[in-house]
A and B are shown apart, each in its own frame.
Chain A
Amino acid sequence: MEASPQANAVPAGLDPVWLANSYLTRRKFDECITLCTDLLRANPYDQAVWYIKTRALTLQDWIDDIEVEEEGVAEVLLDEHAVAKAPRPGTSLARPMTGAKGAGGGPSAAVRPMTSSGRPLTGFARPGTSARPGTSARPGTSSVEAAFGGGRPGTSRPVTSGGRFVRLGTASLNSDGSGVFINVDKLDLRKYAGRPQLARALCNYILYHEHNPKKAMELCAHATVSCNYKDWWWKAQLGKCYYQLGLLRDAEKQFLSSLKTCDIVTTSLELAKVYIRLDQPNTALEVYTQAAARHPGEVSLLLGAARVYDALNETVKGVELYKQVLQYDASNVEAIACLASFHFYTDQPEIALRFYRRLLQMGVKNAEVYNNLGLCCFYASQYDMALDCFEKAFQLADDTGMADVWYNIGQIAIGIGDLGLAYQAFKVAVSMDSSHAEALTNLGVLESRKGNLAAARSHYQAAQRAAEHAYEPWYNAALLAMREGNLEDSFKLVNKALAAFPDHTDSQELHAQLLKQFAAL
């Protein structure tokens, strides 16, 4: 949005305050801010202009913080909020249901790839949901190095969650020359708390523009007192401040009290977020379900519950909810994508194909969708369409997505038996993304078929480093070591594979076989 120099020139006969307000409602924030700055220079005590400028600045930096759920390294490493350290599987986000016993009913890890936290990939990349690493459930992940890594290999996470409350690309560029608009530290918050309208604008400004939850908390505290603890909005804001400060229990209390005063969907969502941070997914689910019963047709609540089910690895329950979401809102991208991936991994590529086509209709047009479409077409035996899709994916892919496309080409090449093409495709994928664990593993398998055992081993090792959570590189390496007669190494490796995926039949067989060998020795 370019700030036109004419914006400052107010047409004759036009009230500049009205114009500023008009800019604000038309979301022309830059013009609005410049105009307001001029007006305030002339009369610093004009409350209307002050209000408009505050709103404009806030809206400029506004983020939907309900959807932001990525935890920073600090939160992951130094998390002390969860009550239980080793709760039963399925009752905690740190220990999702695993394996066949993991009931959920979804496809096992043999079919559906896992993220580093031991959950299947969902069909939708969203901040946070796939990111929480197991605290100590998985070997090695509790180390600092592992905490720096994101949910997918090769990604990283922010230092603190505060870092994600900033809209990427805007806040840093936003330094206007005129200095600080409101010096929060010098404000007499008690005075503002008495004026509800100004105080609300100010509160949002402090939270979204200044990112100073501590100060906002003081303002909210004064404001709730001045309205006799009757205003749900202030209580919810107070809860938000506490949440950002990491005082989850206080946040919980405020949200509950706010909900009691006035039942608002966003408050329920934020409350559920608190419980997720407290690692009490069951309570969060209760909040979602109860709120959903009170607000039928509210998609965000259903989605929230579905995400928690996903995170608990109870895919089937999540899928139920995604289907409900689609009944209310047929164009919900997240639900469509998740259903599509579910159907794909449950061996129904034709149905998945329909969901992905729906996504295309919705205007989601990127490499990933074409990638998935291509795979669906291939497994649904529509080979001509598959290649077209991958071509499209190549056109749209950027550097990060390209490796995945090549990897999938390699998969198809294996499917049609063209191992040469597959080898080359995987090589290209690895050259694009040196930590592409899947491609590395497949390369390793191809190398070992060719008899280049040393190369295969080094590929496996690279894959193991890149993705400790995947069982394939461990198992394949164990198999290799076994063939070479290196039983001890093989035993170690197969144990690692079993730690990553306890119900992997081949690994179990290998393990049993090794034990037999040892007994014989």
Chain B
Amino acid sequence: MLIPAFQLHLTDAIQQRAVTVGKYDGVHPALTAATTGGKVFIHSPHQEQDQPQTQYLNINKQITALTAGALEPALGRDLLLVGTPNHLQAYDVHKNQDFFFKEVAEGVNVVILGIAGTCEAPLAIVGCNGSVQGFDAKGQERFWTVTGSNVSALALCDADGDGQNELLVGSEDFSIRIFKGENVISEIIETDRVIGLTPIHHTRFGYALANGTIGVYEQSVRAWRVKSKHSVGAISSYDLDGDGIPELISGWSNGRMEVRSDATGEVIYKDILPCSISGIVRGDYRCDGTDQIIVCSTEGEVRGYLPADPEVSGRQVEETAHQVAIAELSQRRQELLVELQNYDAQIKAAAGQQERGPGLPLELGGQIPAITKVAVAVRVSEEARSCSLHVQTNSEECVIRGVVIFADQVFEGESLFHYPNSPAPTADIPLKLKKDVAVMLLVKVLVALRTSAVYHVFEEELQLSRYAMYASSVRGFVSEPESYVTFATSERVSRLAMWLEHSFPDWSASAAGVGPSSDSLRAAFVSLRDGKPLIIAMTARAGGQVTIRTDSMELAADLVQEIAAYLAIEQLDCQADFPPELAAFALVLDRVDELNAARLKMTGAVADSSNVIKSMLVKAEDARILGNMPSMKKLYGRLMDLNRELVMEHEKRATNHHDLLEALRLVNTMIQRAARLRVGEPKARVVAACRQAVKANNVQALLKIIREGHA
């Protein structure tokens, strides 16, 4: 149990993940959090005598993100950054003055402040719906890139160990992308929406998912993770046990606060708050020179924890190491005991059988023959339009009672249990993969004799290729899609063939008649999801021209990235045309214009009627003061009507805003796909050019950039 160093009960509710500590006067830290009604409260215990400890800021909009920091180092004090559904405000609390007030049409989901990559000045990095933007102290846009989905978490961490901070972007499409500048250097797919990211130590960072999972990555390899039935309120990191290495600190919806070792995920300390935790921040809140970790709950309870004394904690660590060893050994002993018991029971049963009649075949208490093996394979069939996991035992007596498959990302809840109605030696488990991912399937097959109640578990591992959901169309007469992307490589055809074999389980070079010296290749596939064709072709002309024909731009982008990675191509530009998708995209752009115009009009109308309401309210109050009740009643009646109208109008605006966000997200997704059709410098160029075209509202240029890679 961890004992809090201080404990405060603030009267205001604290919004989830909108807590920060800032030194607004440059010296004294103040706890800042978003509370109800679009307000921010600042609790500063180190104020001068005659100042109130808590002051409130009216934002008058839903607050989506909050952070504080030295955006302008020359200023010598922290600024408060407040994100709302369409603005980012940088506010100087000390001077009661806006630093900038920037419109962010895509909506601010999360905001952090810091130095990313080679930038010399700190940026306010904003995660929006479909994009990440960076603003400097003047509110100028310094950084812009697309992420393909709504950003839900951001962190700065030196994830590749080169001494510079990379930007970690967690998004609602379950992925954590690591950006170096505007390029994605690594992408990790997780199992749910990423709701929290925090740098821990060097290349280590922690993450939290919406399904209650927290864990730690070392570079882009997962070190550990744990899952809870509660949802994560906030994560942070701090060296609480005094060993010089920060731990991962997590706060949960049931009020639990846990400190877990960054290396093993083992709980070091814990504490329980009476209600769910909304934020964890660190700051020198007692002004004594050391940082504390400050845990805030939704009801406004604040607890601060001090790092443990290094001497005391050193002994503790030693003790815990002993304890861990003992716990491990006793666990192992328990397992062995259970196993021994099993064997005893079996031998007893066998002995009993022998007594009854030696003529019967020796059946060791339902034990299957020792030679039993289980074969697991992925089968893709074009005719059946299915991709399935085929499991077979090598004997007729041994039947499959059940199959458990564990795999990240593929199934909901990460696992699938298949239970055949009539146990047979073979089982086909249809795999309905929603996403194209290469995963390791851990298959556990429960095998038993037909009559036996004792199951044997066979564990098999199977690498599932990324494009398992595409069946090779051997006959090759799929209709050619009119959309295509084509690019030049300086590689031989056989290299591509190797890649195809590696990525498509249903394709082999020999079946397609491609040899090491072939100078052309054409592989046709059919998607098992929707029956859409996919053709990958390569000719040796111009040093190896690869053409991918598919109607799905996303698939094409994925393939281009894969091929480039496999062939180690660093710069790749391409020609592309996706007439159906681009036509749909043009419609989206029109819709953005339309929605913007409608929004402008509605904003005016609402402002107008709110002015009317204001004056009517004043008149009504006037009537009250004068004691003119009939007139007051009439005015308040009208006020209520107007109010109802305004509420309706607000609903319209909300719908409009929602549609606009969705449309903008689509625009960003399209830009991202266009960028992902390229690799290296052309990719960054496309993103930048698209941004320019979007800013200038130049639809034609935008479409041209998507097709040709430049305006």
Chain A residues in the interface with B (C-beta under 8 A)? 72-75, 77-78, 80-88, 91-92, 144-145, 148, 159-160, 162, 213-214, 217-218, 221, 241-242, 245-247, 249-250, 252-253, 275, 278-283, 286
Contact = CB atoms under 8 A, between A and B. Distances in A.
Interface residues of B, number: 36
A245 B52 contact: no
Given A73-B618, A80-B58, A84-B55, A282 B97 contact: yes
29 contacts: A74-B614, A74-B615, A82-B58, A83-B58, A83-B98, A84-B55, A85-B55, A86-B52, A87-B96, A92-B96, A160-B618, A162-B611, A214-B605, A214-B608, A217-B604, A218-B600, A218-B601, A221-B597, A245-B604, A245-B608, A245-B611, A247-B603, A249-B87, A249-B101, A250-B603, A252-B101, A279-B96, A280-B96, A283-B97
Given A83-B57, A148-B622, A249-B87, A282 B95 contact: yes
B603 A159 contact: no
A91 B96 contact: yes
Contact of A84 (B57, B608, B610, B622): B57
Contacts of A213: 604, 608
Given A83-B91, A162-B611, 8 more contacts: A73-B618, A74-B611, A87-B55, A159-B619, A160-B614, A160-B615, A242-B607, A249-B101
A80 B59 CA distance: 9
B500 interface: no
B11 interface: no
A338 to B, nearest CB: 25
A282 B96 contact: yes
Nearest to B48: A88
B59 A83 contact: yes
Contacts of A91: 94-97
Contacts of A247: 603-604, 607
B625 interface: yes
Contacts of A80: 58, 60
Interface string B34-54: 000000000000000001100
Contacts of A242: 607
B175 to A, nearest CB: 34
Interface in B600-639: 600-601, 603-605, 607-608, 610-611, 614-615, 617-619, 621-622, 625
Nearest to A74: B614
Contacts of B223: none
A221 B103 contact: no
B512 to A, nearest CB: 55
Contact of B618 (A77, A252, A253): A77
Contacts of B601: 218
B524 to A, nearest CB: 48
- Most chain B CB within a 10 A radius of its CB, from A148, A162, A245: A245
A214 B601 CA distance: 8
B93 interface: yes
A72 B621 CA distance: 14
Given A74-B618, A85-B55, A159-B615, A245 B607 contact: yes
A160 B609 CA distance: 13
B56 interface: yes
- Most chain B CB within a 10 A radius of its CB, from A83, A159, A214, A283: A83
A97 to B, nearest CB: 13
A88 B94 contact: yes
A144 B134 CA distance: 45
B93 A84 contact: yes
Contacts of B618: 72-74, 77, 144, 159-160
Interface in B554-604: 597, 600-601, 603-604
Contacts of B603: 247, 250
Contact of A144 (B51, B55, B621): B621
Contacts of B55: 84-87
Contacts of A281: 96
Interface string B67-98: 00000000000000000000100010111111
A85 B56 contact: yes
A281 B98 CA distance: 10
B608 A86 contact: no
A245 B611 CA distance: 7
Nearest to A82: B58
A222 B129 CA distance: 28
Contact of B56 (A86, A221, A241, A286): A86
A312 B610 CA distance: 30
Contacts of B597: 221
A43 B366 CA distance: 108
A83 B604 contact: no
- Most chain B CB within a 10 A radius of its CB, from A74, A217, A286: A74
B96 A83 contact: yes
A88 B95 CA distance: 8
Contacts of B87: 249
- Minimum-distance CB pairs A-B, first 6: A74-B614, A91-B96, A245-B607, A87-B96, A85-B56, A282-B97
A160 B611 contact: yes
Nearest to A78: B614
A230 to B, nearest CB: 12
Contact of A75 (B52, B605, B614): B614
Contact of B604 (A77, A78, A214): A214
Contacts of A83: 57-59, 91, 96, 98
Contact of A246 (B58, B101, B610, B617): B610
A278 B98 CA distance: 10
Nearest to B622: A148
Contacts of A159: 615, 618-619
Contacts of A81: 58
A91 B92 CA distance: 11
Contacts of A217: 600, 604
A105 B431 CA distance: 80
